[in-house]
């Protein structure tokens, strides 16, 4: 019972440590991944370092898959991260084998004390605590297993040579169940340290753990784009391929492999490192044919939504070329936000999870697009020496800025759906009708503003539409306040929030329209002067 409890604590510690690190790193880490993975070798190193840091190759692979799904990185660029993740996961094995887990209490105490100190470093308190907790749990497992050393029958079974294929299967199943190869690796090394398992039997178990760790990634891609599915499939084929590559070597020359240690636990950790390092480098060398094979198996497929080509962020191009590309992408960004709003409000109306997930994916991608665009603007505007070029960029940037504000309002509306789901609130028919009317009128405004950029529409006509919408919002607000007086109407609060966010969204659309009018009038003026 003590050993089972210790294993549960170990799994708990790993999961929470991984979550804490991902929480701290946030969007800057995701953006860094998107930039650095353009070079396969760098992607490999990043995958290894990240996995060693967060102690979970499954978490690293899921991060990579989610970034592909969001359009932040390409399928081909993601594969090198997957290769590196397997190298990073060997860090745990080395720490356990060399018995460095004895320092675990230091990290637990340090994390605990840091949580009471009010400083900028307090953010690392939980991460340090859980890091120490992970290895403290491994020490508990080691002590809990000590009595098994006197069980002659168990030792005889685990130390007698077993079928290598069975060992791979056992390792894969354990890892698939606990969803962490670090758990399987840590247990195998502890069993070897305690003399409960022979090195010959432990090696296939470690190899099988690599296959089992792909289950988490394969489950996560059910509702994802074809590119994300390719990354998950590449993860599976890579880990399976590494096992198939090494298994004959282990079966034929397992006892003669140079593992550089007489200590079975250290030798096992060294094999784990060599196995993953050689597999990763071999697949990296054949990266292009490997990704081509995945492309042939899966096909090109269709993306959930169109991603903008970010290759135009090239400061070496002529200003006029960049200016035209920035202008053309304004309409893309506007239409993108409009469709996202449509999906967000539709998810509130229909309560359909798939629609909501699609809208969240689009929001995540657009925020990546925004960060890339702002980064390009800040660097490119500094290289402009002509005042007219700076003025043109500022004018374009101001329109993008209002689009970003419109996007933020749409993102705020998603919080309504989150609140409904978290509190299990279902919208009644009268509230649904209000939601439908508001979303319909808002989409109509989106459409009219889009038309105005390409067609001649009377300003008075647009002004009336905005005015009518404002009147309707006031009317809906009064209706909601009456409904809120009823004690059993929990759904009224959600509708009130929608009215508030819709008001803000309407105001931002008005401002964006005014900027569009300024651009149109300036372009017309330039055209007239040119003709004259």
The per-residue pLDDT for range 190-207, each reduced to its tens digit, is: 888 888 888 888 888 889
Do residues 312 and 325 make contact, with C-beta atoms less than 8 angstroms apart?
A: yes
The alpha carbon of residue 81 and the mean position of all alpha carbons in its chain are separated, in whole angstroms, by: 13
> Considering the entire predicted model, what is its pTM?
0.62
- The whole-number pLDDT of residue 520 equals 47
Domains of the chain: 2-298 (no CATH), 319-531 (1.20.58)
Helix extents (H) in 37-115: 40-54, 57-69, 75-88, 90-97, 104-114
Long-range contacts of 460-463 (CB under 8 A, 24+ apart): 462/513
The per-residue pLDDT for range 479-532, each reduced to its tens digit, is: 888 888 888 888 888 888 889 999 999 889 888 887 776 654 454 443 334 343
The per-residue pLDDT for range 287-320, each reduced to its tens digit, is: 889 988 888 888 765 556 676 666 556 666 778 8
- The whole-number pLDDT of residue 255 equals 67
The alpha carbon of residue 399 and the mean position of all alpha carbons in its chain are separated, in whole angstroms, by: 29
Copy the structure tokens of residue 524.
Answer: 């017309």
Reference 439, options 336, 304, 347, 332; nearest CA is: 347
- The whole-number pLDDT of residue 31 equals 61
- The whole-number pLDDT of residue 392 equals 86
Copy the structure tokens of residue 432.
Answer: 């649904």
Reference 440, options 492, 414, 476, 412; nearest CA is: 476
**What residues contact residue 321 under an 8 Å CB cut-off, 6+ apart?**
none
Helix extents (H) in 146-213: 152-159, 164-178, 181-193, 199-212
- Weakly modelled stretches of the chain, pLDDT under 70: 1-3, 14-15, 17-19, 21-38, 55-56, 70-72, 98-101, 138, 142, 145-146, 148-161, 216, 220-224, 254-256, 258, 260, 300-305, 307-316, 452-459, 517-532
Do residues 338 and 448 make contact, with C-beta atoms less than 8 angstroms apart?
A: no
**What residues contact residue 475 under an 8 Å CB cut-off, 6+ apart?**
none
Q: Give the DSSP letter string of 439-462.
A: HHHHHHHHHHHHHHTTS---HHHH
Reference 144, options 35, 11, 26, 9; nearest CA is: 9
Residue 525, Cβ density class (10 Å: 0-12 exposed, 13-18 middle, ≥19 buried): exposed
The alpha carbon of residue 324 and the mean position of all alpha carbons in its chain are separated, in whole angstroms, by: 32
Residue 359 and residue 354: Cα distance in Å, rounded? Answer: 9
């Amino acid at each position: 019972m003590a050993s089972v409890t210790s294993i549960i604590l170990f799994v708990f510690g790993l999961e929470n440590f991984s979550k804490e690190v991902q929480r701290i790193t946030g969007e800057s880490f995701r953006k860094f991944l998107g930039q650095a993975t353009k070079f396969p070798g760098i992607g490999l190193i990043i995958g290894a370092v990240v996995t060693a840091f967060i102690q979970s190759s499954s978490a690293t692979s899921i991060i990579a898959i989610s970034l592909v799904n969001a359009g932040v990185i390409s399928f081909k660029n993601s594969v090198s991260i997957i290769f590196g993740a397997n190298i990073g996961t060997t860090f745990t094995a080395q720490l356990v084998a060399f018995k460095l887990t004895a320092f675990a209490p230091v990290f637990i105490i340090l994390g605990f004390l840091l949580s009471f100190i009010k400083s900028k470093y307090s953010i690392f308190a939980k991460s340090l605590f859980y890091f120490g907790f992970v290895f403290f749990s491994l020490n508990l497992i080691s002590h809990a297993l000590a009595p098994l050393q006197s069980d002659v029958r168990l030792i005889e079974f685990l130390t007698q040579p077993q079928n290598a294929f069975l060992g791979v299967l056992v390792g894969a199943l354990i890892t698939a169940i606990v969803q962490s190869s670090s758990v399987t690796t840590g247990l195998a090394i502890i069993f070897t340290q305690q003399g409960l398992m022979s090195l010959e039997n432990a090696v296939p178990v470690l190899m099988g753990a690599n296959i089992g760790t792909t289950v988490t990634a394969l489950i996560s891609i059910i509702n994802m784009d074809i590119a994300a599915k390719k990354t998950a499939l590449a993860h599976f084929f890579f880990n399976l391929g590494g096992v198939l590559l090494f298994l004959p070597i282990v079966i034929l020359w397992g006892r003669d492999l140079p593992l550089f240690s007489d200590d079975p636990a250290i030798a096992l950790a060294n094999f784990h490192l060599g196995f993953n390092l050689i597999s990763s480098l071999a697949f990296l060398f054949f990266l292009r044919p490997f990704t081509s094979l995945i492309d042939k198996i899966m096909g090109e497929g269709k993306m959930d939504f169109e991603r903008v080509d970010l290759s135009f962020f090239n400061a070496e191009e002529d200003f006029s070329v960049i200016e035209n590309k920035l202008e053309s992408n304004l309409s893309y960004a506007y239409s993108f936000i409009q469709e996202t709003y449509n999906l967000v409000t539709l998810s509130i109306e229909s309560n359909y999870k798939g629609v909501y997930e699609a809208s969240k994916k689009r929001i995540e991608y657009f925020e990546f697009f925004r960060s890339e665009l702002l980064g390009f603007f800040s660097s490119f505007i500094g290289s402009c020496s002509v005042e007219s070029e700076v003025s043109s960029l500022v004018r374009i940037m101001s329109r993008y800025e209002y689009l970003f504000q419109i996007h933020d309002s749409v993102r705020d509306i998603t919080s309504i759906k989150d609140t409904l789901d978290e509190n299990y609130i279902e919208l009644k028919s009268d509230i649904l009708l209000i939601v439908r009317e508001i979303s319909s009128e808002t989409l109509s405004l989106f459409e009219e503003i889009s038309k105005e950029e390409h067609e001649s529409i009377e300003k008075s006509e647009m002004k009336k539409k905005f005015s009518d919408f404002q009147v309707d919002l006031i009317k809906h607000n009064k209706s909601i306040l009456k409904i809120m007086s009823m004690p059993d109407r929990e759904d009224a609060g959600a509708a009130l929030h929608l009215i508030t966010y819709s008001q803000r969204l309407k105001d931002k659309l008005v401002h964006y329209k005014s900027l569009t009018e300024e651009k149109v009038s300036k372009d017309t003026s330039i055209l007239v002067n040119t003709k004259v």
